[in-house]
Homo-oligomer: A and B are copies of this chain.
Amino acid sequence: MTTRTEEVLQSFRERIGQIKSYEEALGVLYWDMRTGAPRKGLEARSEVVGALSVQLFKLQTAPELGEWLSALEASGSSEQLGEIDRRLIRHTRKEYDRAVKIPEKLHQEYVVLTTQAETLWEDAKENSDYASFQPYLEKIITYQNQFIDLWGPGATRYDTLLDAYEPGMTTAELDRIFGGLREKLVPLAAAIAASPYQPEQSFLKQTYAKEAQKKFSLFILEQMGFDFAAGRLDESAHPFATGLNPGDVRITTRYLEDDVMSALFGTIHEGGHALYEQNIMKELIGTTLCTGTSMGIHESQSRFWENVIGRSRPFWNRYYGDLQQMFPGQLNVSVDDFYRATNVVQPSLIRIEADELTYNLHIIIRYEMEKLIFNEGAKAADLPGLWNEKYKEYLGVTPENDGVGVLQDVHWSGGAFGYFPSYSLGNMYAAQMTAQMEKELPNMWELVEKGNLLPLKEWLTDKVYKYGMLRTPSEIITDITGNPLEPEHLVTYLERKYKDIYKL
């Protein structure tokens, strides 16, 4: 490597370190705002977030960064670079090209628009008033279409948006995957609904003391191998996980006193995200590769821990006794009845409250609508009607109003088109990884039944977590299973589980 290349590499690495520092600082500020920052300070705090965001954008889009990237790409020294530098250059090039293609003025207008729209959406949802939100949504769609033109459309226009959340994912691939899924899940959901056996779950809705819920949540996190010297659990209105660095990964939950499972499953879900972020290899710390490789793979980990493990029979064979002790006299049903009660399938209107099976149908609806918007030119005005038709068709339910219909999710108000598929991709990745884990850890379910969850965490660390962004999503799933993502594993998993529970 020439001295000049070494100097450029040094400058490039320093810049990456600065970018990562600003991202981490902003991460702390966001965490703070959501977990307990005093209300009256938030207006001034938004100035602080603004100042750091502007500087971050400058660091990410500065002409010298483009020059360094070109020099490193052209130096012919690619073979001499280590894997981390090579991936870092490739990743930064992609982000850089995306960012610099948007004129600064357009970017700023868009930030103002989505900030307003998110606030407006809250009121619109509250009042089921789609009309007030519609013009904003229409504008956001117009901006997104401009971005697609600037970035350059993929095989379809919607592909360009998908790529931001799940690198390499395409509409063609999702059509195949979601097509297979829909075909199997719709009849399965119908069979479940028709089953004469329906689990009793009213006992889950007593008053369960918050302190005991918290204690049990912390206990389960510890059982999963969450490192409390490298993370913490707090409370917030909307649970989330944030990986500031692998030594500081924070999750939140929300305790509902009338629901014993809500906070716990929320904690396990965010705990899955946290295990991923806590176990990224040291070598990536301080680089922008030090995070999960995609939204889909990230979601596979939250859902693996929440659903595959946390809603499994072996898990409750081990932990139900502990839960009973935590709430003396309140949980008098058998472990089997408890297990069934936590796995009720019920078509419903609200995605975030949906069960493991119908959840995917909620996602497929959003995916199909986003395709209609960007590939078929559907307008904001068309969306409530399309929404209600699809809910009727796939789930057999119809929203009473748009607040529990097309307005239920925050995503579109922030312009996050292309994000929703990640949730179902997560379920599919998780099922496919589980099938492989069952082969490689043949006593996997015995381990769970004994409360020995650490070997599962170690297996995932070795196959997924440690790599951070050093592997792409498709490399991850292919390296683990020898195959690309296939929806059959999720179908098999759900069929096996629910045929047993519903005695089909």
Contacts and interface: CB of A to CB of B under 8 A. Distances in A.
Number of copies: 2
A223 B177 CA distance: 62
Contact of A51 (B21, B44, B232): B21
A285 B43 CA distance: 10
A183 interface: no
Contact of A232 (B28, B38, B244, B286): B38
A44 B24 contact: yes
Interface residues of A, number: 40
A231 B38 contact: yes
Interface in A209-235: 227-232
Contacts of A18: 51
A482 interface: no
A24 B29 CA distance: 10
Contact of A47 (B17, B228, B250): B17
Contacts of A24: 44-45, 48
A286 B45 CA distance: 10
A43 B232 contact: no
B286 A38 contact: no
A24 B228 CA distance: 27
Given A38-B228, A229-B39, A232-B38, A245 B44 contact: yes
A22 interface: yes
A55 B22 CA distance: 11
A42 interface: yes
Contacts of A50: 21
Interface string A51-74: 110010000000000000000000
A25 interface: yes
A249 to B, nearest CB: 8
Contacts of A248: 37-38, 40-42, 44-45
Contacts of A21: 47-48, 50-52
Contacts of A247: 38-44
Contacts of A38: 228-232, 247-250
A45 B27 CA distance: 11
B44 A286 contact: yes
A32 interface: yes
25 contacts: A21-B48, A22-B51, A22-B52, A25-B29, A25-B51, A25-B52, A28-B28, A32-B32, A36-B232, A38-B230, A38-B232, A38-B248, A38-B250, A39-B230, A39-B247, A40-B229, A41-B230, A41-B246, A41-B247, A43-B247, A44-B244, A44-B246, A44-B247, A44-B285, A55-B55
